[in-house]
Amino acid sequence: MSKFICSLLLVAFIGLPYSTGDERPNIIVILADDMGYSDIGCYGGEIETPNIDALAENGLRFKQFYNSARCCPTRASLMTGLHPHETGIGHMTNPPGTLNHDAGPDFPNYRGVLNKDCVTVAEVLKPAGYATLMSGKWHLGMDRHEIRPLQRGFEKYYGCLSGATNFFYPEHPRGMFFGNEPIENPKSTTDRRFYTTDAFTDYAIQFLSEEKAEQDRPFFLYLAYTSPHWPLHAHQKEVQKYVGKYMMGWDKLREQRLKRQIEIGLIDPKWKLSERHDVAWDSLDIEKQREMDMRMAFYAAMIDRMDQNIGKLVEHLKKNDQYDNTLIIFLTDNGGCAEGGTLGGKTDPFDLGKWEATYGAGPSYGGNWANASNTPFQKFKHYTHEGGISTPLVAHWPKGIKRRGSLVSDLAYLPDLMPTFISLAKATYPSNYRGNEIRPLTGVSLTTIFEGKSLKRKDPLYLEHEDNAALIQGDWKLVGTKVSVFDGPDASKWELYDLENDRTETNDLSAMHPEKVSQLSKKWLAWANQVGVYPKPSKKNFKDGRN
């Protein structure tokens, strides 16, 4: 063979990013929507989740993993490895056809869409030879094509671009999309009656099957369910499994879940159960109790159905010999949701036809059940207290995780996922992308934990959403609500907790340790200025849309 031909073959080989015998893992991220810390079985709940529980039993459960307290800020951080403010989603994305959360050009970190100063996981993994697939809820901008999944690195997409939708009869502008195209009267890929949870799974499996047949690359799949976000829409097959089971009420349910959490080692028995949110169950009359039982039954049914679909996805991986070398991450975007009022709003939960046909902030299950979902913590979605930001996180990867069946005590949060995926994919995080300077990552790879070692994190964790803020450093947690006015934080609003002895945040130590509050609040403010929490727009800026 001539030197010329050998040179050509060498150049051709080098030009191929990876060989067909690629041993890098497939990566699947499964995100639940508005589900609490204690709802699934492996985190203390009574809802039937055998498939998620099996992943936990043969993988890892993180005791202390944090999200960003709200739907789209969490998604922004998950997709980019940055804090939400750095991505342009310091508050929320805009509802369809509105500029409600766009504070205008004077506040670039509050524009309500992913900006060009960040890259998504898909934009990083695709050049490294990964298929990039997504099914489910996007919620990172929708009104222009350039801010949708296909324009942010995903090769295939099916789902809802908006934040919430009707589960049985989704209609535009909160309807289904295939790629960039809106779908009227959507159907699943199977004969099942249309239901978003089923459809998202069916299309995810279709995308995996197509990739296996066409190119057989390692894949990154983002499966973002809307379950169990309101409106509470569920199949009666699952609902009837739970009707009557919640007549015990939220007070006894919280005690029951806490007992199990202590038994399985998730919760330290010295931590006190946080106070009940509002109304005592025994203060309700029997008719109201039956109504609230029904609301919780619908909520449980939605999680049950989601778990069944996760089982279907896992079975597909097994049949295609992809199970052992696929990292599956399961988590939720925020704590249980108290939206809709203490008792879930006015929509009658017994009017089942109306439940299937309507969309709105109700029916929901209300603040008292959300309090139970977040057992043993206080607060909910929106807040940076433990109930708002603590997520169950299950990691399963038979070929790559050594500590199978273990509980992970290391402190971790969303910005750690991007470095993890980059490390596993042997990808490169860019400093410049399409002519734009990209913000650096600050998270750490979790591969150290997969190898059976400690993360040994040194830097604090920082959070902020809607003037709810937190800093966690070691065992200390600085947290507060309404901690900022528009020109900077109000130090009097901070609370201080020792998470080693009081992760349920029942004993505020701020008055005993004012020097620690001062020290940590200064760190938080320096971070807030660095990532663009400030300047913070006023409510008027948001209400009026663009300046």
User: Which residues are identified as catalytic?
Assistant: 71, 139
- What is d(CA 330, CA 267) in angstroms, rounded to the nearest whole number? 20
Q: Is 119 helix (H, G, I), strand (E, B) or coil?
A: coil
CA neighbours within 13 Å on the CB side: how many for 427?
28
CA neighbours within 13 Å on the CB side: how many for 23?
2
Residue 241 burial (C-beta neighbours within 10 Å; 0-12, 13-18, 19+):
middle
**Alpha helices (H) along 167-248:** 196-214, 236-242
- What is d(CA 116, CA 113) in angstroms, rounded to the nearest whole number? 10
Task: Identify whether the C-beta of residue 148 lies closer than 8 Å to the C-beta of residue 137.
Answer: no
Angle at 305 between CA 303 and CA 310, to 5 degrees: 95
Q: Which two tokens stand for residue 500?
A: 């080693």
Which residues on adjacent β-strands are paired with residue 432? 437
Q: Is 107 helix (H, G, I), strand (E, B) or coil?
A: coil
- What is d(CA 169, CA 177) in angstroms, rounded to the nearest whole number? 14
The total number of residues shown for the chain amounts to 547
Start-to-end CA distance of the chain, whole Å, equals 68
- Could you identify the residue written with the tokens 């990566």? 27
Which residues on adjacent β-strands are paired with residue 222? 29, 134
- What is d(CA 448, CA 327) in angstroms, rounded to the nearest whole number? 14
CA neighbours within 13 Å on the CB side: how many for 147?
21
Phi, psi angle pair for 293, to nearest 5°:
-60, -45
Q: Which two tokens stand for residue 43?
A: 């985190």
- What is d(CA 449, CA 456) in angstroms, rounded to the nearest whole number? 10
- What is d(CA 242, CA 198) in angstroms, rounded to the nearest whole number? 20
**In 10 A of CB 46, how many CB atoms?**
18
Q: Which long-range contacts link 138-142 to residues 24+ away (Cβ below 8 Å)?
A: 138/75, 138/162, 138/224, 139/71, 139/72, 139/75, 139/93, 139/163, 140/72, 140/75, 140/76, 140/79, 140/89, 140/93, 140/113, 140/114, 141/93, 141/94, 141/112, 141/113, 141/114, 142/93, 142/96
Cβ neighbours of residue 313 closer than 8 Å, sequence gap 6 or more: 28, 30, 201, 204, 205, 223
Task: Identify whether the C-beta of residue 30 lies closer than 8 Å to the C-beta of residue 392.
Answer: no
